[in-house]
Every structure is written in C-alpha cells, then in structure tokens.
Chains A and B, each alone.
Chain A
Amino acid sequence: MNILTRLLGYEKQRERLLKKAPEGPLKDYLSHPFPAMDCPIAQVPLLALDFETTGLNPKVDHILSAGYLTVDQDEIILGSSHHAIIDTDCALREENVIIHQITDDHKAQGQSLEQTISDLLAALSGKVMLVHFAHIERSFLNHACERLYGMAPIYPIIDTFMLAQRRMDMKSAGYDPSELRLSNLRETANLPRYSAHNALTDALATAELLFAEVSMMNHKTSPPLKNLIL
C-alpha cells in the first residue's frame, strides 16, 4: 500500500486517479467503486488472479499468461474462468517452458499484452484482487499499465501468502518459509492437489485457499474486508 493510499483510503485515491486517467480500459476500470471496507468478505466480489512470468523483475521479464476467475457470494464461479496466453516478443527461456508448460508454439497462438490487460481490467472492475504473493501480480500489472496507459492504477488486494504468514507468525513455534508456498498451504488445509501448474489453476487454488484461511480465522460471522486487505 503506498503512502497516498494509506492517507487517503482506496476510494479517494481511486477518484483522484480517475481524473488523471486517459480514456480507455484504465479509466473504465477506475470508474467502478471498490467494495466497501466493512463489507463482510463473503459478500465481496473477488477476482482470483495469477500470472506466469519469465522472471521476477517486471522491467526485464514478461508476463507469459494470465488466469483469473470470479468469487462471488462465497462461491468460486468456474464459468467465469479466463486463461490468456500472451504473445510476447521475447524468446522463451528454457526453464520457464519446463515450469509453465508453455512452448513457443503455444505462445504464437496467444494474444497481445494490451488485449490481455484490457480484458483483465474489465474483469477486475468493482472487485478486490485475490492473489498468492501479491508482489508479482502487482508489479507486473503496474508495469504493464504504465507502458500501455502511462500510469498505474490502484487495486485493493487480498494476499493469501500474507494471510498465512500473519497466521503463522502468531503461533509461538517457528516455521519453514517453504510452508508458505501455495501448494504446501493447500496441503495443510486439506485441499485437493492440483497437478497442473499454470495461471488459471493457481488462481483457482488461491481462491480455495482463501476460503480455508478465512475458516481458520474462526470468526463467528464473515470477517470484514478490511481485516483481510493487504
């Protein structure tokens, strides 16, 4: 959360950026109000999102694919699933091919980054972004928006990595950082194993993990959004 957002709050910041935004997808996105911070999480529309990238640095690395789906009224809606493979102009590095199972052939059938980001912003409108380890999605999305629209928007984010970290920090016993990996957290939460490793599966996996994390908070009623937001 940047300092302005912290001072102004998401809504004020959104309205401020809306005035500056150029016509197009970014402006459309910013024109939708964010869900209220005291809204119970069960009623907050979420967009579970995952990027597969060629590396960790948005300045030199690229988004290979984006997968996302909607969580609404405490339900993950499979019909809302979206998976986009991006036709970047960089040659794929071999290790990424192995991890993400995206080959050059696949990529050639992909769509442009601009189309992908535009679709994503439309899907994200009025929702809270849900990711596991927010740094990647936020920095790559920001970078892409700056390139495409000249400015980065803001988005309220729920990060299951952070929720799990917070929960585990509260326990007196130490833990191995690898326990915070998506697959490991799912295993301890008794969620099914997904063999595929790609953006949409990980987005789905993250959404399911959020349900389990909220359950572990042991609230009598659904906790407000502000308790979960990054």
Chain B
Amino acid sequence: MDIELKEICDFISKVTPLDRLPQSTLEQLTQEIRIRYLRRGTTVSAETESSRLMIIRKGAISLSSKSGRLIGKAAEGDLLTLLMTEPDTKEHSGEVTEDMLVYSLDTNALKDIATEPDSNQTVLDMVIKHIRGGLSQNLIKANTNSSTGSALIYNEIETIYSSPAITIASGSSILEASIKMSEHDVSSIMVTDTNGAAIGILTDTDIRRDCVATGMSTDAIADSIMTHSVRSIKPSSNAFDALMLMTRKGIHHLPVVDNNQLLGMITSTDLIKFESKNTVYLSTSIARAKDIATLAQESKVIPQLQVQLTDMDASADHIGKAVSAVNGAITRRLIELAEEKLGPPPVPYSWVAAGSQARREQTSHTDQDNALIISNDLDPKDIDWYTQLGTFVCDGLAECGFIHCPGNIMAMNPEYRQTQATWDKYFENWIDTPDPQALLNASTFFDFRTIHGEDYLLDEIRDRMLERSQKNTLFLGLLAKNALGLRPPLGFFRGFVLIEDGEHKDTLDLKLNGTAPIVDLARIYALAEGIKTVNTRERILQAAGTNSLSEDGAADLLAAFEFIGEQKIQHQTRQIKRNEKADNFLPPKDIPQLEREYLKDAFKVIQTMQNSIKMKY
C-alpha cells in the first residue's frame, strides 16, 4: 500500500470492531474506501443508497427511528451502519448535523475480504456480528483474558512472608528448639551452621512424629530429626507458585532466601490466610470486636476489600456479596452488643436489611436501609427495648461509615419498627391500594432480608406479600411505570453521554442510568412471578423462561447487569486507590472505545426490556 494512505489506515485501525483486524487486512480495506462528504442537513436513509458501511472521519449525524424519535448520534470514529442492508436497520434514518467526511465501504467488497489471511470469516461477517451481536456473546470474548483468579496470583512472597526467620544453632537440643518455637509461636524453625547459613528445617510435625511418637529424648540434638538440604524460595517469587510448590512437595514451610541470606519464612498457613483475607477472615475479627470503636476500625477495611477483590478480577456479583456480608457481620455484632446492654428481647424480632444490602449488591460504604419486625405478641409497654435497639444499631452503623438513610428508612424510625401484623398491613396497602408516590418510596421494602433474629417473621410476610402482588396487575403496572422513570442513556456522542431528549451530559451515572433500572426490572419480575429471592441476579435467573422474561432476555439482562456493575466497581476502585470518595459518576472520556460499545449494547438491552414491560402492563 502507498505509505501516503497510512494515515487513513491508521484511523480505521482504531475503530471498533476493525481494531481487531491485522495490518494486512486493514490495508486491503483502505484500498476499498471511498471518501464522501455529506453536507449539514443531508438526510441519509437506506432506501436511496446501495449497501455500504460508513466510518465517520469528521462531523456528526443524528439517528432517528421511523417515527422520528431520536435514537442516537454518531461522530468521529463511529460506525454508521444505517445504509447496510444487513443486518436490517432500515427503520432508521440519519440527518447530518455537522458537515461529515465519511469513509464508505461497499458491503460487497467487505464480503470478499477475509478477516485474516487464512480465515473463513469475512470482514462483513465480523461487522454484522458486531452490530447484531448479543451483548452476552460479545462480553464472553472480552472476559476470556481475565481469569477469575486468586489474590496469590497477583502478589509476591515479599508482601506475605514473616520476618525475621526464627533460627537455632546446629547442635541445639530438640527441647531448646521447641521452647524457641513456642516463644515465637511458629510451627517451624531453621537450623543454622556457625556462619548463620540454613542447613535444615525442623517442624512441629518432625518433633511429633520423629521425637515424641518414637519416645526419643528431647535432649537429642535437633539436627538428628531435621530435614536437610532445605528447599527455599526467593522473595520475588510469585505467591501462587509458592503454594503450588508446597502442595507438590507436600511441605508447609519454605525459607525465604535472597543472595544466600535467610530473610524469613513463608508457611502454607500464611498463604491461605492471605488468600482468604476476605470476607470470612474479616467476619471473624468483626465478630470479636468488643465495642463500636473497634467495629468502626474494622469497617475501614471495606474499601480495601473492594480494591483487593477488584484486583483479583472478582465479578461485581461476588464483590457485592462480599461487601454485603461484611456489612451484615457488623450489623450482627452491633445487635449483639446492644443485647448485652439491654438484656434479652421481650419477644422475638427480626432485624431486616432493605435495598442494596438486602439484595447483597452493596459496594463500599453506602447509606443504611433497615427495619425491625417484631412478633405480634409484643406488649406495648415493652416497645422501649426495640426503640433502644434501633437507635443503638443505627447510630453504630453510622459510626462504622454507613450513614443514616436520608429517606429515614431505618429501624430507629418508629414507622419502620413495627409488629409483623402492622408490616402485613403496610404491604397490603402498598399492593391493594397503590399510590404511585408512596410506591416509589416503598420499593426498597420489596427487597427485604433478615440479618439477625427470627427468619419466620419476614418469611411469613413475604409469602403473603407475593401472593398478593402476583395477582394485582394495577400494582404491577404502577411499579412498571415507576421503573420506566429511570431510562438508560441512548449512547455516547463524542465525550458526552447522550440522553433521551438529545441532551448531552458529561458524566454517566452508572447507578441511576445503569444498574438501578435493571434492579427495578428484576423486582417486577419477582413480584409478578412470586420469586422469593431479592438478589437481582438470582431474580433474573429464576424469572428466565417465565411469562415475565424470556431465556434470551434474561441472558442479555444478566450480561448487562454484570458489565455495568463491573464498570461501576472498577470506577469506584480507581477512586478509592486515589483516596477519593467513591461515587457512581463516570466521565465518558475515561471509557475506552470497546467498553463504550459494550455499554451502548447494555443500554440497548435495558431499553428493550423496559419497552417490553411497558407493553405488558
């Protein structure tokens, strides 16, 4: 190819999905390009043109549906597919809003060019697949290079091993060795020669098996039962490799040695503890916290937990569950502390989480949403116990970083600290005589989960609630109408987010315009189908194949939910790493091209699902 056309070739090499093509194919494509200029005000519609793919080099165009509704805008670097006969996009037309310079490619030519020299797939196939491509299909590809790995893979021994190494001089007795090991609370000790070099290792197991069990005197020298010629590992080694080495050799201790210098010891327990410096581990230290101050201290690790899990490539679902679990542990510990102070509860009760914590979709620190369900056996004069419980726990949570709910959905609010019968009444009212505004405020309560106390109190309410909700189409209709209040954006336009009325915003609200509409949809499916779970992912999975949601729709919706959730978490993790306050606002200019395409697809999925519930109710 003429070097002079390289600039054009370079330009198309950055356009998704052409960016996946090798240089030779891009050069072939460049040869096929015809450059056109479209004046502002020009209308572009499929009927007038032969089938072609266009790439915008300069300028902009507004895209509308047949009914004249704005469905998107495209500018520099965007593909313009409305002149392609396949896949069918004939219902769309475009109006040039800024003079455009476009690179036009005849689809017949794309049919003759293979994506790679030996490939059966043509460029046209690839482009069509990209345009049509279900989100779930595209995302699987994007995720293959990110293994859902372990924390060990991302860390070196250096960050984990304990130092200094505990040693004992060659010739010391087993007893001396045992005493030193106990003193330092370690399970192994290095035996060193006069130069301080390690000549062997003595472990708990060696002492038990080769000394105590055989009746050997503990005065015998350690050298007699130690393992000679010790295998060691460098501090720069990968932690996961170290664990693998231990597993393979059936050993639990590895001295860390660099330049013949004994630096310390790494044990399989260290590695496993590091790996599970996760929820379980954290939950233990929370369960042991003796007061609110200690809990507040422990809760500070939540953002770090999120960062660590994100670095491990954990899914948004996994992270949401982990963070919610920690929050649950903190809440439970606070309730225990309250009960220690207040004495046993007069009658059974249930502390329930509402909203994102109930759904187990929390990220980092959010506000608290909770409520109390008290047994109907409550003697009104005992209500004070529950008042104090509510105040103690809610204030405690606030100290731990879960700010008081601005909407006052908290157990410290008497309205939401009620007997089971009253809660039943609440749900009866919300469902049977729904008021749109009241319903909007109450939607949090349809996502309810017991954190502490008697499960049956909530379970019974939920059973009765679902029985009502399934039958009440007026209620579901209003819920659907409320859900349509949050619409995803149309897409992106240059550095902006394009919203429904053609306005631009300079940030994308990943929650309000991304995950929240999906959460709302899933709630409607659950209430319509009598699904008990409140987790969005599980709701969608269980709704798949019912009257509310097709299998394919569910797959797309899940992919969209996971993808947007992932973007949200990655964005927040970047903020946490920069010591900024985590939020949901992502500037589009920070989104790489490929992610933009996927986000656009995800928005489209949400729109489709929203339109279908709009039709239904």
Interface residues of A (CB under 8 A from B): 67, 74-79, 81, 83, 189-192, 194-196, 198-201, 204, 207-208, 211-212, 214-215
CB atoms of A190 and B36 under 8 A apart: no
B30 near A: Cβ within 8 Å? Answer: yes
CB atoms of B99 and A78 under 8 A apart: no
CB atoms of A207 and B35 under 8 A apart: yes
Candidates A81, A190, A208; contact of B4 at CB < 8 Å? A81
Can you name the residue of chain A whose Cβ is closest to the Cβ of B103?
A78
Candidates B3, B31, B33, B101; contact of A208 at CB < 8 Å? B101
Contact residues of B between 243 and 291, Cβ < 8 Å to A = none
Which of A67, A76, A83 has the most chain B CB within a 10 Å cutoff? A76
CB atoms of B58 and A81 under 8 A apart: no
CB atoms of A76 and B4 under 8 A apart: no
Classify the interface of chain B: helix, strand, loop or mixed. mixed
Assembly CA distance A74 to B38 (angstroms): 10
29 A-B pairs (CB sep. < 8 Å): A67-B4, A74-B36, A75-B35, A75-B36, A75-B104, A76-B35, A76-B36, A77-B34, A78-B30, A78-B35, A79-B31, A81-B4, A83-B2, A190-B59, A190-B98, A192-B11, A192-B101, A194-B7, A196-B3, A196-B6, A199-B4, A200-B2, A201-B4, A204-B4, A208-B101, A211-B101, A212-B99, A215-B37, A215-B39
Q: Which residues of B contact A77 (CB under 8 A)?
A: 34
Candidates A78, A191, A195, A201; contact of B34 at CB < 8 Å? A78
Q: How far is the CB of A83 from chain B (nearest CB, A)?
A: 5
Count of CB-CB pairs between chains A and B under 8 Å: 69
B32 near A: Cβ within 8 Å? Answer: yes
Known: A190-B58, A190-B59. A79 touches B32 (CB 8 A): yes
CB atoms of B33 and A78 under 8 A apart: yes
Interface residues of B (CB under 8 A from A): 2-8, 11, 30-37, 39-40, 57-59, 98-99, 101, 104
Assembly CA distance A181 to B279 (angstroms): 66
Assembly CA distance A77 to B33 (angstroms): 7
Known: A75-B35, A79-B32, A212-B37. A191 touches B2 (CB 8 A): no
Name the 8 nearest CB pairs between A and B, nearest first.
A211-B37, A200-B4, A76-B35, A75-B34, A78-B33, A215-B39, A79-B31, A201-B4
Candidates B3, B7, B33, B99; contact of A215 at CB < 8 Å? B99
CB atoms of B2 and A81 under 8 A apart: yes
Known: A190-B59, A192-B58, A211-B101. A83 touches B4 (CB 8 A): yes
Assembly CA distance A158 to B57 (angstroms): 25
Which of B30, B32, B35, B104 has the most chain A CB within a 10 Å cutoff? B35
Q: How far is the CB of A101 from chain B (nearest CB, A)?
A: 10
If A199-B4, A204-B5 are given as contacts, then 8 extra A-B residue pairs at C-beta distance below 8 Å, sorted by A number, are A75-B34, A75-B36, A76-B35, A79-B31, A195-B7, A196-B3, A204-B4, A215-B37
